[in-house]
Amino acid sequence: MFDTTVAPSQAARPQQHSASLDMADLLVAYLEQLGIDYVFGIPGGAIEPLYNAIARNQRRGGNLSHIVARHEAGAAFMADGYARETGKIGVCVATSGPGATNLITAVATSYGNDVPLLVITGQPALPSFGKHGLQESACTGIDVMAMFRHCTRYNSLVSHAMQLEWKLITALQHAMRAPRGPVHLSVPVDVFRAPALQQKPTYDLNALLQPAELVDDGAIERLRQMLADSRKVVMLIGGACGDAIHAILQFAVLKGATFVTTPDGKGLVSPQHPLYRGVFGFGGHAAAEMALRDPEVDMILAIGCSMGEWNTGGWNASLLNERLVHIDESEEHLARTPMARAHLRGSLLPIFTRLVERTHQVRRDAVIEFERRRTARTLDAIDWEPDSMLDSAAAFTSDAAPVKPQRLMRELSLMFPPSTRFFADAGNSVAWAAHYLQPHDRRLGERRLEEGPAQRKRSAGRRRSNGGWLRLTSHFAPMGWAIGAAVGTAAANPDVPVVCITGDGSMLMSGQELSVAVAEQLCVIFVVLNDGALGMVKHGQRLGGGERIGYALPPTDFAMLARSLGGQAFTIRSPADLEALDMQAICNHPGPTMLDVHIDGEEVPPMASRLRVLLDDGA
């Protein structure tokens, strides 16, 4: 709704800025400088000058576009997915008042998962502050600034046009340095409309935001010596390892170290890698915990791990002990492992690049040469089948109807090309995907579906994704995140299929964002685990001995819902229905597809670590 508190003379001003820039134009110019493709949001009176500036920029031939979400939380989830795919900052915008408050849950999600966002909200004109104007939400109204303070890395009201440029730069620097996360600027409508103080950006943001290469050579050498002295090493690979994963895996092979991953790190590796021993943490594998508990292991390298409940198996002592060496760029993460034998803070890529280089350099030493031969023998002797670590191999191949969720994960693993981005939503979807989803790598597995030529758009100059093939949100984990994040990823990279695995509860909560994929013609495959329940609530109550209450959902035809929003849809009641799908056509369809999969709701997801924490009474 447009803000009626703006004075008539101010309301007329947008017609007067065709020739010169206003402050909203300057903000758009900075977003263009960063190579941002999309702003995600919903228009409204207080934010309208920013949309006007985007429109003017498009008329001038600019590349910045906008995508209108159906709810502001969906916009921030989309920006989150965009940031994970591109490595750039995600941008979401909302008007004042309820537009801003609707963002908060999604912004808090990015804060909890260290995803960089620029969050821009509007405000009524400054002269109207304190007069109880419509949707007033600065310090004199419903104070959204106070609300954002606790879920952003930087949070400021721009109270004068002269502040916008330097506050924007300060915010972006906070967003992109470790620990990364969302930043918030709230801009009154008259500040947006004020004439720009200069006609083009003063600063080169790409230079200012270039990450510092944090490396302590002495600490790396001490770590290398510790590694050389160790008998057996296991590595825990976390979600922050994306840009360093090739160097990390190269080091694992050189050292002959088996590795496990956190749930959010699983998508960075191939499940077929001979040194891989599964997921440790929520939805994880017994094989991963066994690898950490091995009495012969005298060093555990935890790399890029935030060390929260979900990626430590509920703070499991098999990981958090004196054998641990924690390597991370974030001091906040390192502070969570006071029991560790050693800590190393720095950028992961240069750390592991140097470890690999120095390991090669010292191999002329006889001891290291012996280690190299031992490593070669270890790799040659490995006979490892990924299926062997699954909790329920029988359900993984079951032909039963309704579909076993384990079998669904198996089919999804086989159906899609290696370039597919999988998203798993909060709840049972994460548990099933973390444990059972294991698509074949380009190099180590076979492809069942060839990539088609669908939607070849704007791929030139796009940064390679470091987000991995499986993406999820831990820590602050809201239902419905994956629905918006999948749309944002598909917008960022329309050349690959995007698969969103979500529950019926999440789809009822946030499923309207499918309409965005229809409007933007984005290839997103929504896979709904339809069991008529809030599944994690149901199973948590049963396993924990709680009252069985509040989990049931009415029967819902999600295929019909998707068609009503303009998408195509299929109802899946058996594995045969899955196998009958023409996945080549689905992956080349210019728009979303819903797979409404009726699953066996009595199958218990792998959620033991979560249950242990819930029953622990906070000890």
Q: Where residue 67 sits, what CATH number does that domain have?
A: 3.40.50.970
Distance of alpha carbon 22 from alpha carbon 164, whole angstroms: 11
- Predicted local distance difference test score (pLDDT) of residue 81: 97
DSSP string, 310-350: TTTTTT-TTTSSTTEEEEES-HHHHTT-TT-SEEEES-HHH
Nearest Cα neighbor of 63 from 460, 464, 518 is: 460
Q: Where residue 249 sits, what CATH number does that domain have?
A: 3.40.50.1220
Residues 352 and 253 in one domain: yes
Confidence of residue 443 (pLDDT cuts 50, 70, 90): very low
- Predicted local distance difference test score (pLDDT) of residue 473: 87
Average pLDDT over residues 188-198: 91
Confidence of residue 8 (pLDDT cuts 50, 70, 90): very low
Q: Which domain holds residue 36?
A: 23-195
Residue 39 within any structural domain of the chain: yes
Tell me which of 517 and 619 has the higher pLDDT.
Answer: 517
Confidence of residue 140 (pLDDT cuts 50, 70, 90): confident
- Predicted local distance difference test score (pLDDT) of residue 125: 86
499's enclosing H/E stretch is strand 498-503
Q: What's the mean pLDDT when you consider all of the chain? A: 86
Residues 435 and 555 in one domain: yes
Distance of alpha carbon 343 from alpha carbon 327, whole angstroms: 6
- For the record, the structure tokens of 33 come out as 């400088």
Decide if pLDDT at 460 tops 80: no
Question: Using only C-alpha atoms, what is the Rg of the chain?
Answer: 25
pLDDT in tens, 206-228: 888 887 777 788 899 999 999 98
pLDDT in tens, 247-276: 999 999 999 999 999 999 999 999 999 999
Decide if pLDDT at 522 tops 70: yes
Residue 459 within any structural domain of the chain: no
Residues 403 and 370 in one domain: no
Residue 11 within any structural domain of the chain: no
Residues 274 and 367 in one domain: yes
Decide if pLDDT at 447 tops 60: no
Residues 324 and 419 in one domain: no
Average pLDDT over residues 372-392: 60
Sheet with 568-572: list strands edge to edge. 470-472, 421-424, 498-503, 524-530, 593-598, 568-572
Beta carbons within 8 Å of 586's beta carbon, 6+ residues apart: 525, 568, 593
pLDDT in tens, 154-171: 999 999 999 999 999 999
Distance of alpha carbon 18 from alpha carbon 326, whole angstroms: 55
Distance of alpha carbon 537 from alpha carbon 542, whole angstroms: 9
Strands 154-157 and 233-237: unpaired
Average pLDDT over residues 109-113: 95
Residue 17 within any structural domain of the chain: no
* Cβ atoms of 395 and 404 closer than 8 Å: yes
Confidence of residue 151 (pLDDT cuts 50, 70, 90): very high
Residues 321 and 415 in one domain: no
Residues 224 and 179 in one domain: no
* Beta-bridge mates of residue 472: 424
Tell me which of 368 and 488 has the higher pLDDT.
Answer: 488
Query: Could you give the number of structural domains in the chain?
Result: 3
* Cβ atoms of 182 and 110 closer than 8 Å: yes
Distance of alpha carbon 43 from alpha carbon 46, whole angstroms: 8
Decide if pLDDT at 493 tops 90: yes
How far does Cα 74 stand from its chain's mean position? 14
Average pLDDT over residues 493-504: 96
Q: How many CB atoms lie within 10 A of CB 15?
A: 7
Decide if pLDDT at 71 tops 60: yes
Decide if pLDDT at 323 tops 80: yes
pLDDT in tens, 529-559: 999 998 888 888 888 888 899 989 999 999 9
Beta carbons within 8 Å of 60's beta carbon, 6+ residues apart: none
Residue 16 within any structural domain of the chain: no
Distance of alpha carbon 241 from alpha carbon 114, whole angstroms: 13
Decide if pLDDT at 499 tops 70: yes
Tell me which of 522 and 12 has the higher pLDDT.
Answer: 522
Residue 167 within any structural domain of the chain: yes
Decide if pLDDT at 617 tops 70: no
pLDDT in tens, 565-594: 999 999 999 999 999 999 999 999 999 999
- Predicted local distance difference test score (pLDDT) of residue 611: 62
How far does Cα 461 stand from its chain's mean position? 22
Decide if pLDDT at 315 tops 70: yes
- Predicted local distance difference test score (pLDDT) of residue 180: 94
- Predicted local distance difference test score (pLDDT) of residue 13: 43
Residues 43 and 190 in one domain: yes
* Cβ atoms of 316 and 289 closer than 8 Å: yes
Residues 152 and 227 in one domain: no
Residues 521 and 597 in one domain: yes
Distance of alpha carbon 294 from alpha carbon 175, whole angstroms: 39
Average pLDDT over residues 111-123: 95
Tell me which of 18 and 201 has the higher pLDDT.
Answer: 201
Decide if pLDDT at 103 tops 60: yes
Residue 286 within any structural domain of the chain: yes
